Structure 1
Amino acid sequence: MEEGTQYDWGVNASLTDEFGNNINASDSISFNVADAPSLIDSYPDSKSGLVNPDLNISFDNEDDPVTVEFYDWESETLLNNASGVTGSYSYDTSNSGSFGGEAGQTYFWYVVIEDEATGATYNSSEALGNPWEFSTTDVLDANVNVVQGDRNLNPGSANFGPSEIKVQIGNSKDLDMGEAKFYIEGSQFESISPVPVDETISADITDDVAAEDSQFDWSVEVLEDGNEIGNYSGTFTTHVVSLDWVDESSEKIPAQFNMYHSDEDTAFNYGDDSYGLIGNTAKTSVSVALPSLGYGSDDCFRVTAENSAGESSDASPCKHYRACPAEAIACSSL
């Protein structure tokens, strides 16, 4: 029988009573085979460096309760079961004995989900044709690549500028890792678990750093099953520059202002690579914390106005402002 299909069946009866009369009777009835729960997602599958990871599934059964059973595919051993589950379920394999607990092994698992009202069942191994798997490893040697974090960061007070340390963490086994702990001046301020291999992860500094124009030491520690497998230490600054200018555009044609930055005080030309666009704003006063601020020989900022008629010409001194050098920042009209 197929799920979601209606079937008809009936009974025909014929008999003779004690007086020799023939009696015929019939009846029919219809029934539907219920839809089984449908799987949405599962984790882990294929990549995991974790010993004793959590097995996670999410499914759709229209919020009707189900019974979930996790199995070791190789031994057909029931690892865990739970009833009255809706939407998703997670199982910690550290409670299963040996399954998932040995380093350097690959484990196979599947799940059976049964609708408690209809009895309709979903078996992931049968439906997908294969079990899910995850691998553990004896020793991981994690390497940390800093995407953002060893220069200037926004302590939270600036309107423009990144406020996150960003890293990518990899290893020779190409496996996900257990945990990454981030520290500022020796105090932990962020923890990320699990750590996806070679993907960018971020740690926002704004809740732990408030001081402007300061320097901070930071580090990240990578852990696997509680053991350190990699680390990195660096330094960032929190320089913030304030930019102010006068809006001389027509009230009938409001302008937005484009802010530009260069690491050195050179002539401004549109399309010149020496100046990078920071962003644009309708305000006439903003603060900026760029990654390169304080690392150039002569940080310079320029502002142009732009409306429906286009962007202001560099030849118009009323529309351009710059702030430099970085150690004594103040906006001045050109």
Structure 2
Amino acid sequence: MSAVSTPNPSPVLKRESPWRRNLLEFLSSKTAVFGLVIATLLILAAILAPWISPQNPYDLLQIDVLDARLAPGTMNGLNTFHYWLGTDGQGRDLLSGILYGLRISLMVGVGSALIAGVIGTLLGLLAAYAGGKVDALIMRLVDLILSFPSILVAMMILAYLGKGVGNVVLTLVILEWAYYARTARGQALVERRREYVEAARCLDIPNWRIMLKHILPNCLPPLIVIGTLQIARAITLEATLSFLGLGVPVTEPSLGLLISNGFQYMLSGEYWISFYPGIALLVTIVAINLVGDRLRDVLNPRTHK
């Protein structure tokens, strides 16, 4: 009797994790990786500013007014570079001012984007899940906020509240949460019709738990993209407000205020006082936008169909 041969079991293919797939796709773009590296270096420089800055630009004991408006690369008595990027109109080291200003700009941008993201996402989920009058009320408020120019509304709010980092963050949150709410609502409307949501309802799971545990995780990819781009937008808007004199106070200058402080010296030849903070602001915004643009392509579900 011949032995009965059994077929070899086919190998089980391990399904690739969506997060791993997205990470590899993101890293495949040299432009995005370059932007991520630059953004990471800028964040580290801002965090480590008190330890890597040549001086504390806001410590009066370290500032000499006689050193005002020195050109970049000015040497001290030991024939070594003392002011790599020169000094501003008050004699403060410009490199140190940029590092400290970068801290304020990133803190305002990231902080406002996170707070607005939480508020807008929760309101968007509530609008989609509750529907009816709640949905209509929230979305009409979103339409109202998005119908006005952001810079005009920000100027009006800060003219009433006054200068201050906290006031700038509050203003940006008021202007930004609507973007998250509209995106979260659109995604949640799609997810609430899925079978897993209907199954959760049949199991008498509380509505708040369905929204936060089941619907929210599937809405995160587009919200991450919105958040990244909103950080760059918030930094740009804060710099504009500070340049106009409505943003952060002089005691806590951001990159926008540094540009404003040196603008009066542009025609007299001391270009570096505004030029280098402007370059730092430009590089920061471009780096974040490069990361955000790539995330938008990677996390777009249409690219994986």
User: Same fold by TM-score, threshold 0.5 exceeded?
Assistant: no
Which of the two has greater helix per residue? 2
Which of the two has greater strand per residue? 1
Q: Bigger relative contact order, structure 1 or 2, given CA contacts below 8 A and separation 6+? A: 2
> TM-score range with shorter-chain normalisation?
under 0.3
What TM-score, normalized by structure 1, do the two folds share? 0.18
What TM-score, normalized by structure 2, do the two folds share? 0.19
